[in-house]
C-alpha cells in the first residue's frame, strides 16, 4: 500500500480515537505563505519538495513571536497533468505540508491544509486539492467550435476554417502553474511545542505625539474617494498612505511583483477584449483615469493573475504634504473580481470586491514581504465613510481606516519577484496535439441537448446566487449605516 494512503488512514484513525475519547482537538490557525520556487503540473514531478515562507506573523500564547523567516516544508503529493489531453481535460495538484522549519535550524512536525491560492482560474476543494480550468470552456474556443460546424456544411471549407481557428483564437494552457512568490492560504495545526499559536496583533512603532498629530492631520485632509474623469462621481476609496521616496515606492512594488499599466488606446482595448474571450492574462492592462483633488494618478500599478478578469490594482497620487521629512503618497486599492459590460460608462469594465479592506491589507502584506516596510499603522478617518454626508459607491464595506505604510530605502529587497522568468511552455507539437484532442473530446461530450440544457440551468443558478449575495451585501451595509447613525444621535433626555 502506498505510504500516502497509510499516512491518511493513520490520521483518520487518530481523529476518530480523539473524538471517541472526548479529547479536545488542537486548534488550527489560518496563515499566509509564499512559494519559494515555481511549480507546474506539466514539469514538476510527484514527490518534489515544496517550501513556502510564512508571511503571517505568529505569536505564542505568552505573546512572544516565533522567529521571522519560518517556513513550511512539504511535497507534491499527487499530480494529474493534461499532457496531450488523452486522459484528463483538466489538471489537478495536491500539496502536502508536514514540517515547520525555523531559521535557527529547529524543525517540528506540523500539518497544513491548503484552503486558497491567489489565482483566478483554479479552485480548491475541501481536501485542499487544486483543480485547474477546462481550456475548452473559454469564449474564444466556443466560437471556434461554431467554425467547425460551418466546415461540416462544405468540406472544402475545412482547411481555411481550421487555419483561421488556430491562427486567430488562442487556446489557453490548461496546466496549473505557479511562479515563485505565489500566495498560499493554509489552515495550519501547530506542532505540540507550539500549540496555541495565533496571528500576532498588529504592532506599531512608537511615534512622538507631535509627529502622530501631524500624520492625523494629513489623513484628515485626504478626500474619501477618487473620482471618475468622465462623470465626476465617486469611484475608488482612498485607503492607503505611503511615506517615503518615489524610488523606494517603485522599488517596493516592483520587488513584490507588481507591474505598470499601458495607456488607454484602441489597440489596448482590443487586447483587453481578446484577453477576456481567451481567458488569458494581461500583465500591463490599461486602467481608467481617476482623479484625486482633480489630479490624475502619478502611478498606475497592478498585479495580474492568470486571467484578465481578475487582478489587484491601485492608483497612487503624490500629495503636497511631508511627514518626518519624507514624501507622502495617497493610494486607492481595489480587487477586480470579474469583467462586465457597463452602459455608464459604455464598454467593458471590472466588478470589484466590495470588502475593500481585504485589498488594502493585501497591498500591505505584499510590501511587508519584500522587507521594504519599516512600519504600518492604521488610522481611522474623521467620519465613517458611508455616513459622512458625501456620496459613495453602493455596496462598499469598510472599517473606514487608512493604512499608513512607512517605507525604507528598499535598496536590497528580501525577494525580488520581478526577476523571475516565466515557466517554459510545452513544445509546439504538444500544444497543437492537445488542442485537437481536447476540442474533439469536447464536441463529443458536450454538443448535445442534454449537456446544453444543464449548462444553461447552471449558469442561471449562478447568476441568481450572485445577485442574492450582492443584495445581502447591500443589506448589511445599510444596517451598518443605520447603526452608526443611531449611535450619533443625542441621548434622549
pLDDT at 371 over 50: yes
Confidence of residue 217 (pLDDT cuts 50, 70, 90): very high
pLDDT at 165 over 60: no
Query: Which cell goes with 308?
Result: 484578465
- Buried b / exposed e over 395-433, threshold 16 CB at 10 Å, is ebbbebbbbbbbbeebeebebebeeeeebeebeeeeeeb
Dist. CA 459–CA 451, nearest whole Å:
12
Q: Which long-range contacts (CB under 8 A, 24 or more apart) does 339-343 make?
A: 339/276, 339/308, 339/309
Which candidate, 170, 173, 174, places its Cα nearest to that of 90?
A: 174
Could you give phi then psi for residue 188, rounded to 5 degrees?
A: -105, 130
Q: What is the pLDDT of residue 351?
A: 75
pLDDT at 325 over 80: yes
Least confident of 88-92, 164-168, 325-329, 332-336: 164-168
Confidence of residue 9 (pLDDT cuts 50, 70, 90): very low
Q: In sequence order, what E strands does 343-410 have?
A: 347-352, 373-380, 401-407
Angle between helical axes of 246-255 and 357-370 (0-180°, round to 10): 90
Q: Which long-range contacts (CB under 8 A, 24 or more apart) does 317-325 make?
A: 317/292, 317/293, 318/246, 319/218, 319/222, 321/218, 321/221, 323/211, 323/214, 323/215, 323/218, 323/243, 324/211, 324/243
Please tell me which residue, 50 or 491, carries the higher pLDDT value: 50
Query: Which cell goes with 316?
Result: 497612487
All domains in the chain, ordered by first residue: 25-133+172-199 (2.40.128), 209-408 (no CATH)
Confidence of residue 268 (pLDDT cuts 50, 70, 90): confident
Question: If DSSP codes are grouped into helix, strand and coil, which group holds residue 454?
Answer: helix
Please tell me which residue, 23 or 118, carries the higher pLDDT value: 118
Q: What is the pLDDT of residue 23?
A: 44
Q: What is the Rg, in whole angstroms, of the alpha carbon atoms belonging to the chain?
A: 25
Beta carbons within 8 Å of 29's beta carbon, 6+ residues apart:
58, 187, 188, 190, 197, 198, 199
Q: What is the pLDDT of residue 11?
A: 45
Which candidate, 363, 234, 350, 352, places its Cα nearest to that of 291?
A: 234
Q: What is the value of pTM for the model shown? A: 0.78
Least confident of 120-129, 191-200, 316-325, 378-387: 378-387
Question: If DSSP codes are grouped into helix, strand and coil, which group holds residue 185?
Answer: strand
pLDDT tens column, 237-246: 899 999 999 9
Beta carbons within 8 Å of 262's beta carbon, 6+ residues apart:
268, 284, 285, 286
Which candidate, 221, 188, 259, 154, places its Cα nearest to that of 381?
A: 221
Degrees, nearest 5: CA angle 309-310-311: 125
Please tell me which residue, 231 or 49, carries the higher pLDDT value: 49
Q: Are the beta carbons of 261 and 254 closer than 8 angstroms?
A: no
The mean per-residue pLDDT over the stretch 250-258 comes to 90
The mean per-residue pLDDT over the stretch 354-378 comes to 89
pLDDT tens column, 453-471: 887 788 788 778 877 776 7
pLDDT at 356 over 90: no
Amino acid at each position: 500500500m502506498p505510504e500516502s494512503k497509510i499516512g491518511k488512514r493513520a490520521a483518520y484513525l487518530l481523529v476518530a480515537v480523539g473524538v471517541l475519547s472526548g479529547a479536545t482537538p488542537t486548534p488550527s490557525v489560518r496563515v499566509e505563505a509564499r512559494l519559494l520556487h515555481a511549480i507546474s503540473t506539466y514539469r514538476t514531478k510527484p514527490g518534489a519538495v515544496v517550501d513556502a515562507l510564512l508571511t503571517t506573523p505568529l505569536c505564542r500564547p505568552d505573546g512572544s513571536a516565533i522567529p521571522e523567516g519560518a517556513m513550511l516544508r512539504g511535497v507534491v503529493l499527487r499530480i494529474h497533468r493534461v499532457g496531450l489531453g488523452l486522459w484528463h481535460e483538466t489538471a489537478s495538484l495536491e500539496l502536502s505540508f508536514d514540517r515547520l522549519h525555523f531559521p535557527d535550524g529547529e524543525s517540528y512536525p506540523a500539518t497544513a491544509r491548503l484552503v486558497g491560492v491567489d489565482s483566478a482560474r483554479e479552485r480548491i476543494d475541501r481536501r485542499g486539492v487544486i483543480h485547474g480550468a477546462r481550456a475548452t470552456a473559454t469564449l474564444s474556443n466556443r466560437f471556434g467550435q461554431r467554425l467547425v460546424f460551418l466546415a461540416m456544411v462544405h468540406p472544402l471549407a475545412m482547411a481555411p476554417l481550421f487555419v483561421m481557428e488556430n491562427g486567430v483564437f488562442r487556446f489557453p494552457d490548461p496546466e496549473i502553474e505557479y511562479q515563485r512568490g505565489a500566495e498560499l492560504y493554509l489552515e495550519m495545526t501547530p506542532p505540540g511545542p507550539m500549540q496555541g499559536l495565533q496571528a500576532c496583533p498588529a504592532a506599531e512603532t512608537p511615534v512622538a505625539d507631535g509627529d502622530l498629530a501631524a500624520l492625523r492631520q494629513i489623513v484628515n485632509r485626504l478626500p474619501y474617494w477618487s473620482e471618475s474623469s468622465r462623470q465626476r462621481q465617486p469611484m475608488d476609496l482612498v485607503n492607503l498612505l505611503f511615506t517615503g521616496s518615489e524610488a523606494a515606492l517603485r522599488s517596493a512594488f516592483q520587488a513584490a511583483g507588481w507591474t505598470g499599466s499601458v495607456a488607454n488606446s484602441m489597440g489596448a482595448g482590443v487586447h483587453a477584449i481578446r484577453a477576456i474571450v481567451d481567458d488569458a492574462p494581461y500583465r500591463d492592462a490599461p486602467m481608467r483615469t481617476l482623479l484625486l483633488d482633480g489630479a490624475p494618478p502619478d502611478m498606475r500599478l497592478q498585479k495580474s493573475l492568470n486571467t484578465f478578469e481578475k487582478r489587484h490594482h491601485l492608483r497612487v497620487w503624490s500629495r503636497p504634504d511631508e511627514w518626518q521629512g519624507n514624501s507622502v503618497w495617497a493610494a486607492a486599492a481595489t480587487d477586480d473580481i470579474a469583467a462586465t459590460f457597463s452602459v455608464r460608462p459604455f464598454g467593458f469594465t471590472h466588478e470589484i470586491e466590495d470588502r475593500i479592506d481585504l485589498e488594502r491589507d493585501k497591498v500591505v502584506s505584499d510590501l511587508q514581504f519584500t522587507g521594504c516596510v519599516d512600519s504600518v499603522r492604521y488610522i481611522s478617518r474623521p467620519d465613517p465613510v458611508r455616513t459622512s454626508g458625501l456620496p459613495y459607491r453602493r455596496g462598499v464595506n469598510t472599517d473606514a481606516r487608512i493604512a499608513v505604510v512607512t517605507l525604507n530605502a528598499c535598496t536590497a529587497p528580501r525577494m525580488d519577484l520581478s526577476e523571475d522568468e516565466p515557466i517554459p511552455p510545452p513544445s509546439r507539437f504538444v500544444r497543437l496535439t492537445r488542442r485537437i484532442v481536447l476540442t474533439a473530446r469536447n464536441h463529443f461530450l458536450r454538443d448535445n441537448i442534454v449537456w446544453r440544457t444543464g449548462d444553461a440551468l447552471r449558469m442561471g443558478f449562478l447568476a441568481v446566487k450572485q445577485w442574492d449575495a450582492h443584495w445581502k451585501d447591500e443589506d448589511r451595509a445599510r444596517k451598518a449605516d443605520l447603526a452608526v447613525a443611531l449611535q450619533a444621535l443625542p441621548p434622549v433626555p
